[in-house]
Amino acid sequence: MTSALLEVDNLSIGYRTAGGISLAVDGVSFRVDRGGSLGLVGESGCGKTTIGMGLMGLLAPNATIVSGQVRFEGEDLMTASDARMRQIRWRRISMIFQAAMNALNPVHRVQDQIAEAIITHEPDLSGHSVAHRTRSLFDLVKIPESRLQDYPHQFSGGMRQRVIIAMALACNPSLIIADEPTTALDVIVQNQILSAIGTFQEEMNIGMIFISHDIAVVADVCTNIGVMHAGSLVEYGSRQEVLDCPGHPYTRMLVGSLLTLSDQPADLSGVACAMGDNGPATVEGCPINSICPDATAVCRRERAGWVELSTTHRVRCSQAGEGR
């Protein structure tokens, strides 16, 4: 039995709006084992990134954690002080950002940006050791050391993503939150980056939460998959269970939308709900009852509770496990 690195229990995060608090994450629970990996899949706005930022204590000023418990290495992150959170950030939990965004500061050399993370958390380290660690990180992600002195704009998108990965590994964290790290990269580079992330994660025994809208990408690198819809987790299980016998209609639509060469063009009509409809459910009943092919009167009336399909596979659908 592997030990839990991160346990998230019934986490709800909302944004303060003029009309009260609007829930972006609604009662999400999951755990990540030491060295294990969890993929969070869901469409834009379903609350994936909000979860990641919430774990880091980096929510926007108008966001607030409504309820829930987050235990990381046995420590309650919800009650941790700001100073303690700063110590945990990057040292214990680091992030891999999307390189297409301006995740690297344009006016500082990449070497300094990596060194900065090391120096902040290990101030006693000599300048020589910091430089040595920075160089070996570059070796690890297969970027020539001669590029250490370069600025972010001098790298290609794929290389910039490697720099970001090197930076995430700088303090040898026990958990990495990767937020859409391959989005906006072409498939070949995406493949290289994914295999690099997978390798480090396994070899260094780092726990990982991999956030993506693309279930194919998540299936590539994660041992567990959590499917999110409208702020809630709707299905949670091992990769095989979720991909081979998806229990939730929404997951079935996502898996069914995977493109393969031999298939007819995939039908996405069921997956894509109207814009503005992907936020947290405000109506009664199951959030997807209007697009679900199997919806019954029960689905329209009340939200389903969790149904355990196996010890590791659970799904939040009232139709699940009934005669299929």
Partner 1 sequence: MALRRFVLRRLVEIAVIFFVIMTVLFILFRLAPGDPVSRMVDPSMTPEDARLLMESMGLDQPLWTQYIYYLKNVVTGNMGVSFHYGEPVIGILMDRLPNTILLFTTSIILSALLGVFLGKIAAWRRGERIDTLMTIGALFCHTLFLPWLALIMIWFFGYRVGWFPITGMISPEVWIHPDAGFMAKALDVLYHMVLPLMTLVLIHFGSYLLVMRSSMLDTLKDDYIITARAKGLDEKTIRDHHAAPNAALPVVTSVGLSLAFSINGGALTETVFTWPGIGRELVFSVSHSDYPLAQAAFLLIAIVVLVANLVVDVLYAYLDPRIRY
Residues that bind partner 1 (CB under 8 A): 56, 58, 85-91, 94-95, 97, 101-108, 116-117, 120-121, 151, 153
User: How is 180-201 classified by DSSP, letter by letter?
Assistant: STTTTS-HHHHHHHHHHHHHHH
* Shortest distance (Å) from residue 95 CB to partner 1: 5
* Shortest distance (Å) from residue 107 CB to partner 1: 5
Give the helix ranges, DSSP H, for the chain. Answer: 48-56, 82-88, 110-121, 127-140, 157-168, 187-203, 215-221, 239-244, 249-256, 297-301
Q: Is the CB of 90 or the CB of 236 nearer to partner 1?
A: 90
Q: Is the CB of 118 or the CB of 217 nearer to partner 1?
A: 118
* Shortest distance (Å) from residue 102 CB to partner 1: 4
Q: Is the CB of 114 or the CB of 143 nearer to partner 1?
A: 114
Strand partners, 207: 175
Structure tokens at 252: 């079935």
* Shortest distance (Å) from residue 251 CB to partner 1: 30
Residue 321 Rama label (left phi>0; alpha psi -120 to 50; beta): left
* Shortest distance (Å) from residue 70 CB to partner 1: 16
Structure tokens at 94: 């680091």
* Shortest distance (Å) from residue 41 CB to partner 1: 22
- Does residue 32 sit in helix, strand or coil? strand
Q: Is the CB of 105 or the CB of 312 nearer to partner 1?
A: 105
Contact 40, 231 (CB under 8 A): no
Q: Is the CB of 64 or the CB of 87 nearer to partner 1?
A: 87
Q: How many residues does the chain have?
A: 324
Q: Is the CB of 89 or the CB of 313 nearer to partner 1?
A: 89
